[in-house]
């Protein structure tokens, strides 16, 4: 809410600087978001009396040459305002002045005529949005008098954030009341006094409430014979500062009182109400209604309506209707001041998508006991500004008056809860300052009745918060809760996640974090078939864009996007990974499945050109090597890589399943060309793996047992075999291990050779086999027998033959 400081001063004396006031409000929970001096830049604007007016000789537009007495001499000013006339007193900015918005006033020639300074309209001074003509100052204002002083413009605007619980502060009086309580000042209530005519209101209208739940109180008053015209400057100025457009005196009064007292009001044209009476009821389903902004809405029973004898005339608490609004010819006005049920107004306003100053306040809860005072304040202002006669009495339909809660309050409990040592007297003083009725049973126990406008206070905890606020949070001591030992372990996901990151960072990968939502089209880019689980998306009902409309079922799209970001500025040698959740639709009445996944990608060069190495592009064995290194870090070096049902986004020739004891932990491979292309990464080879986080959780970190160190020497034998190209290395190793039995300690591939003397469908694999016995030193003869047998088996099972040297 934006309010003028001078308006606040109508109700409370401020004996502190503007800075200090901002601090006091902020530290009491009314956060001052910004503060802006008003009128400050008008120091150089003075009253100017227009001595003569002539037509501008060389302008087809209506321009005038005015001689203006500025108090410092008479100057000629060129002016286009239609209302300029001799004898008028208007604000003038002399050369050298800077206007709000930064315009510097200079002596200048306008169409050949000198213009010394500028006569001003209200909007040019930033006071209102009025640009109809020059601002008219009081005729008795001496030329040269300061406009700031004359109009009391030495003012500031405060933008205050009102939290949803403090509905009572959505008004000038509410904030003033808070300032009074915080500073120990007393609050001045607005002046309400007016003359009533003889005609009793009951002879002119009636109010019927058919839905007392939705409308617990409805008060109405009337002014007859009003004259519609613009409001005086001071009203328009205050409305403007608070962001409300001035319309006419009658309507402006309702808005002025809304801002001042927080009570939304509505002015009806009495003569346009059929049978001149008011009925409050729920809308019927499908009923349509046109609000005063000209929009037609289809209603349902959520909406509360204000009607006349025949038809709806306003959306209760939200907006008036086109059919009954005040217009230039309105003569007689019926003013509504009501309390509507917050939930009803909120639902209605949400359903129609209309939020207004009125609905904002009703939703949060207004002061039900302030309904009549606000009505009377508006009747007074209306008769002051628009003339006319206030009719005798008001209608106040209030079937079951509000009961304020009575709260039992304990000072001891409050001190324990806050960690303070305040006396009962201090607490009682704080509560009274906030308008609570406090009845002290003894030093410790009070009965407290909060005022009706404090809709947020119903329990003793609510009162404790008020005590803390008035004492000041800064003055509450600083203590520590006792430390308790905990036996509980942190979740394994956290532990594993940190381990994953540490391992990948060691291997040179950068962690990325992608949005959890992706485009459903990603499933197409990944070439997944219709029934693929990748497509069982959890969708959002109200996504921001289609690109972020479903929850991810794989981490690959996010990583591809990360590659794209970096490709865009020319960085193509990339290694990155992500550890995050996937979301899987479950159907039925349950939350989607969420499980961690882990994926990494590599692209570009594995090794860049340096002074010691030649460059080399990434290939399958780089990503596989990273994955092996990673698995080893989790104690899963026994994982195997197998051909099988790998996802469609891989190039089938270069993809494998990662398995552990027959369980598929994930997949690894080179992404298919078309897939890479569909993510706008042309001409690039991308290698990736993705693992199931929950399976990793199940199997990672197997228990470790120590193996005794070898006591006897090993015998090393190398063997070079020629096999068909399609014979897998792993199969050969398995045979060697199987045949080697107890005596085989390890076998490793140390060379791969293709071409040359080796046929095009063949390759040569060289293995180093390490034999060792746990009991004895092996004899060369024994090893040779075993070694020959292994070679024999390999020949039989795989067609391998020894490579001729």
Partner 1 sequence: MMDGILDLQKKALEELDTIHDRNGLETFRIAYLGKKGLVTTWMKKLSALAPERRPEAGRLANQVKMNVTRCYEEAKERIALQKEKVESFLDVTLPGRRFARGSVHPITKVTQEICRIFVKMGFRIVEGPEVEWDYYNFEALNIPKDHPARDMQDTFYVSDNVVLRTHTSPMEVRVMESQTPPVRIIAPGKVYRRDSDVTHTPMFHQVEGLLVDKGISFSDLKGTLTSFVHQMFGYETALRFRPSFFPFTEPSAEVDIRCVICKGKGCRTCSNTGWLEILGSGMNDPAIYKFVGYDPEVYSGFAFGMGIERVAMLKYGIDDIQLFYKNDMRFLRQF
> Taking CB under 8 A as the criterion, which residues in 391-410 touch partner 1?
none
Q: Which stretch binds partner 1 (CB under 8 A): 367-375, 439-447, 606-614, 788-796?
A: 606-614
On the CB side of 578, how many CA atoms lie within 13 Å of its CA?
A: 23
Based on CB atoms, which residue is closest to partner 1, 139 or 485?
A: 485
Query: Of 385 and 470, which CB lies nearer to partner 1 in the complex structure?
Result: 470
Regarding 510 and contact with partner 1 (CB under 8 A), the answer is yes
**CB–CB of 155/127 below 8 Å?**
no
Distance between CA atoms of residues 319 and 340, nearest Å: 13
Phi then psi for residue 762, to 5 deg, are -125, 165
Please state the closest distance from residue 26 (CB atom) to partner 1, in A.
Answer: 6
**Residue whose CB is less far from partner 1, 415 or 646:** 415
CA distance 371 to 697: 63
279 binds partner 1 (CB under 8 A): no
Among 10, 67, 211, 462, binds partner 1 (CB under 8 A): 462
Least distance (Å) between residue 417 CB and partner 1:
6
For residue 614, state whether it binds partner 1 (rule: CB under 8 A): no
Asked if residue 685 lies in contact with residue 602, where contact means CB atoms within 8 angstroms, the answer is no
Question: Cα separation of 202 and 337, whole Å?
Answer: 16
Determine, following the binding rule CB under 8 A, whether residue 570 of this chain makes contact with partner 1: no
Q: If you ran DSSP here, which 8-state letter would residue 132 be given?
A: S
Counting beta carbons within 10 angstroms of the beta carbon of residue 658, is it exposed (0 to 12), middle (13 to 18) or buried (19 or more)? buried
Rg (CA), the chain: 42
CA angle 742, 748, 751 (to 5 degrees): 150
Stretch that binds partner 1, among 386-394, 588-596, 614-622, 675-683 (CB under 8 A): 588-596
Cα 205 vs. chain centroid, distance in angstroms? 47
Tokens of residue 326, six digits: 């005040």
Q: How far is the CB of 431 from partner 1 (least distance, A)?
A: 15
Q: How many of the chain's residues bind partner 1 (CB under 8 A)? A: 91
Within residues 51-90, the interface with partner 1 by CB under 8 A covers none
Report the C-alpha gap between 673 and 683 in whole angstroms: 8
Minimum Å gap between C-beta 481 and partner 1 is 4
d(CA 613, CA 333): 91
Burial of 694 (0-12, 13-18, 19+ CB in 10 A): middle
* Region near partner 1 per CB under 8 A, out of 207-215, 267-275, 276-284, 490-498: 490-498
Q: Is 689 in the site for partner 1 (CB under 8 A)?
A: no
Of 486, 653, 704, 805, the one binding partner 1 (CB under 8 A) is 486
351 counts as binding partner 1 under rule CB under 8 A: no
* Contacts (CB under 8 A) with partner 1, residues 150-209: 163-166
Q: Tell whether residue 514 is a contact of partner 1 (CB under 8 A).
A: yes
Q: Among residues 464, 597, 676, 747, which is the contact residue for partner 1, using CB under 8 A?
A: 464
Among 327, 473, 712, 750, binds partner 1 (CB under 8 A): 473
Of 403 and 484, nearer to partner 1 (C-beta) is: 484
**Which residues, listed in sequence order, are joined to residue 282 by a DSSP beta bridge?**
304
The C-alpha angle with vertex 465 and arms to 463 and 470, in degrees rounded to 5, equals: 95
Which of 36, 27, 39 has the alpha carbon at shortest distance from 3? 36
Of the CA atoms within 13 Å of residue 757, those in its CB half-sphere come to 5
Q: Which is nearer to partner 1, 33 or 384 (CB)?
A: 33
By CB under 8 A, tell whether 417 contacts partner 1. Answer: yes
Q: Minimum CB separation from partner 1 for residue 469, in Å? A: 5
Q: Which two tokens stand for residue 711?
A: 């006591």
What are the tokens at 61? 């537009």
Q: How far is the CB of 454 from partner 1 (least distance, A)?
A: 14
CB of 610 to partner 1, least distance (A): 7
Strand (E) positions, 216-260? 217-224
Q: How far apart are CA 450 and CA 457, in angstroms?
A: 7
Measured in degrees and rounded to the nearest 5, phi and psi for residue 330 equal: -65, 140
Dihedral of alpha carbons 302, 308, 313, 319, sign:
negative
Which residue in 574, 583, 567 sits closest to 518, CA to CA?
Answer: 583
Q: Torsion over CA of 622, 627, 629 and 632, rounded to 10 degrees?
A: -160
State yes or no: residue 612 binds partner 1 (CB under 8 A). Answer: yes
CA-based nearest residue to 553, from 520, 527, 507: 520
Q: From the CB of 372, what's the least distance to partner 1, in Å? A: 25
Considering only residues 15, 293, 408, 511, which one is a binding residue for partner 1 as defined by CB under 8 A? 511
Among residues 576, 623, 723, 786, the one that binds partner 1 under rule CB under 8 A: 576
For the CB of residue 514, give the shortest distance to partner 1 in the complex, in Å.
Answer: 7
Residues 621-640 that bind partner 1 (CB under 8 A): none
Q: Which is nearer to partner 1, 391 or 686 (CB)?
A: 686
Binding range to partner 1, per CB under 8 A, among 146-154, 256-264, 292-300, 505-513: 505-513
571 binds partner 1 (CB under 8 A): yes
Nearer to partner 1, 561 or 769 (CB): 561
Check binding of 17 to partner 1 (CB under 8 A): no
Region binding partner 1 by CB under 8 A among candidate stretches 6-14, 194-202, 574-582, 713-721: 574-582
- Using an 8 Å Cβ cutoff, are 53 and 84 in contact? yes
- Can you tell me whether residue 413 is helix, strand or coil? helix
Q: Which is nearer to partner 1, 408 or 728 (CB)?
A: 408
Pick from 10, 13, 31, 287 the residue near partner 1 by CB under 8 A: 31
Residue 34 touches partner 1, criterion: CB under 8 A: yes
Question: In the structure encoding, which two tokens stand for residue 163, read together?
Answer: 């939290």
Q: Pick the stretch among 117-125, 216-224, 266-274, 474-482 that binds partner 1 (CB under 8 A).
A: 474-482
In the region spanning residues 517 to 546, those forming contacts with partner 1, defined by CB under 8 A, are: 517, 538-544
């Amino acid at each position: 809410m934006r309010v003028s400081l001078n308006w606040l001063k109508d109700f409370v004396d401020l004996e502190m600087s503007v800075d200090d006031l901002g601090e006091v409000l902020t530290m009491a929970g009314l956060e001052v978001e910004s503060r802006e001096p008003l009128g400050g830049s008008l120091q150089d604007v003075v009253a100017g009396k227009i001595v003569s007016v002539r037509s501008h000789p060389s302008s087809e537009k209506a321009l005038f040459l005015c001689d203006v007495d500025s108090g410092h001499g008479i100057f000629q000013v060129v002016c286009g305002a239609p209302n300029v006339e001799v004898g008028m007193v208007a604000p003038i900015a002399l050369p050298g002045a800077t206007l709000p918005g930064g315009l510097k006033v200079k002596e200048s020639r306008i169409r050949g005529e000198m213009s010394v300074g500028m006569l001003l309209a209200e909007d040019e001074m930033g006071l209102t949005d009025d640009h109809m003509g020059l601002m008219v100052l009081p005729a008795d204002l001496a030329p040269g008098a300061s406009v700031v002083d004359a109009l009391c413009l030495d003012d500031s605007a405060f933008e205050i954030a009102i939290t949803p619980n403090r509905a009572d502060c959505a008004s000038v009086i509410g904030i003033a009341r808070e300032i009074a309580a915080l500073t120990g000042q007393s609050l001045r209530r607005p002046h309400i006094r007016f003359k009533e005519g003889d005609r009793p209101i009951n002879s002119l209208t009636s109010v019927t409430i058919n839905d007392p739940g939705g409308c617990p109180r409805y008060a109405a008053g009337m002014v007859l014979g009003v004259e519609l015209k613009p409001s005086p400057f001071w009203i328009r100025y205050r409305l403007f500062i608070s962001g409300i457009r001035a319309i006419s005196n009658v309507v402006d009064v309702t808005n002025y009182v809304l801002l001042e007292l927080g009570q939304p009001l509505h002015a009806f044209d009495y003569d346009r109400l059929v049978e001149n009476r008011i009925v409050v009821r729920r809308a019927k389903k499908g009923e349509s209604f046109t609000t005063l902004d000209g929009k037609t809405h289809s209603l349902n029973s959520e909406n509360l309506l204000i009607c006349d004898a025949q038809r709806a005339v306003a959306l209760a608490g939200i907006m008036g209707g086109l059919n009954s609004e005040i217009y230039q010819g309105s003569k007689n006005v019926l003013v509504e001041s009501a309390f509507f049920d917050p939930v009803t107004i909120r639902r209605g306003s949400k359903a129609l998508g209309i939020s207004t100053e009125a609905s904002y306040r009703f939703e949060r809860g207004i002061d039900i006991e302030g309904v009549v005072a606000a009505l009377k304040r508006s009747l007074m202002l209306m008769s002051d500004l628009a003339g006319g006669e206030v009719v005798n009495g008001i209608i106040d339909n209030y079937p079951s008056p509000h009961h304020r809660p009575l709260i039992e309050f304990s000072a001891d409990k409050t001190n324990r809860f806050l960690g303070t040592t305040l006396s009962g007297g201090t607490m009682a003083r704080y509560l009274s300052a906030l308008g609570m009725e406090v009845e002290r049973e003894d030093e410790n126990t009070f009965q407290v009745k909060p005022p009706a406008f404090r809709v947020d206070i119903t329990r003793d905890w609510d009162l404790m918060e008020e005590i803390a606020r008035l004492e000041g949070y800064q003055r509450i001591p600083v203590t520590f809760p006792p430390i308790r030992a905990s036996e509980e372990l942190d979740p394994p996901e956290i532990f594993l996640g940190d381990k994953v990151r540490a391992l990948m960072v060691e291997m040179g990968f950068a962690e990325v974090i992608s949005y959890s939502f992706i485009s459903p089209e990603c499933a197409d880019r990944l070439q997944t078939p219709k029934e693929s689980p990748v497509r069982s998306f959890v969708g959002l009902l109200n996504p921001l864009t289609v690109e972020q409309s479903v929850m991810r079922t794989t981490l690959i799209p996010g990583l591809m996007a990360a590659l794209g970001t970096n490709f865009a500025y020319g960085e193509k040698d990339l290694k990155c990974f992500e550890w995050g959740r996937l979301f899987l639709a479950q159907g039925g009445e349950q939350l989607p499945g969420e499980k961690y996944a882990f994926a990494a990608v590599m692209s570009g060069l594995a090794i860049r050109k340096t002074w010691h190495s030649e460059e080399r592009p990434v290939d399958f064995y780089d990503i596989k090597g990273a994955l092996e290194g990673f698995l080893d870090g989790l104690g899963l070096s026994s994982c195997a890589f197998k051909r099988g049902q790998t996802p469609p986004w891989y190039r089938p020739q270069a993809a494998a399943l990662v398995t552990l004891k027959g369980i598929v932990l994930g997949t690894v491979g080179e992404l298919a060309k078309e897939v890479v292309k569909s993510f706008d990464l042309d001409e690039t080879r991308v290698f990736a793996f993705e693992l199931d986080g929950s399976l990793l959780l199940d199997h990672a970190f197997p228990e470790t047992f120590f193996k005794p160190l070898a006591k006897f020497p090993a015998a090393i034998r190398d063997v070079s075999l020629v096999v068909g190209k399609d014979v897998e290395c792993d199969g050969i190793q398995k045979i060697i291990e199987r045949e080697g039995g107890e005596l085989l300690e390890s076998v490793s591939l140390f060379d791969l050779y293709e071409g040359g003397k080796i046929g095009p469908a063949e390759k040569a694999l060289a293995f180093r086999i390490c034999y060792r016995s746990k009991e004895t030193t092996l004899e060369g003869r024994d090893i040779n027998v075993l070694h020959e047998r292994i070679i024999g088996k390999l020949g039989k099972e795989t067609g391998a033959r020894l490579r001729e040297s």
